[in-house]
Amino acid sequence: MSYLRSFAIIAIFLMVGKGFQSLTQIPIPGSILGMLFLFGALSAGLLPPNWAKPGCHLMIRHMAILFVPVGVGLINYLDLLKANALPVLVSTIGSSLVVLLFVGWFVQRKESD
């Protein structure tokens, strides 16, 4: 019963997020908004964490299986990825470098305070 309740809560927040996204037309996926709403409800104490915990743990345990459709989808666009390999690599390495430098700067600044 706890798995059913947990998956129902996750599905409800997913639908709320998708509905909010379609109403507001903001450029954030509805699934992300739904998870942010779920996080907000859990943080505010509106929802007991043990209600959502079983389904979340089950999904995290089997997360590798959830990435299979994404991998298959990438195969469909392999020629597009090859054509744009340089911009993808440059943006990935560049953004990782920016994050690394910012975190290093922030930690040094925080330690000196």
pLDDT in tens, the chain (113 residues): 788 999 999 999 999 999 999 999 999 999 999 999 999 999 999 999 999 999 989 988 988 888 888 888 888 888 998 999 999 999 999 999 999 999 999 999 988 87
Domain spans in the chain, listed from the N-terminal domain onward: 1-65, 67-113
Nearest alpha-carbon partner for 41 in 10, 20, 63: 10
Q: For residues 43 and 47, what is the distance between their CA atoms, to the nearest angstrom? A: 8
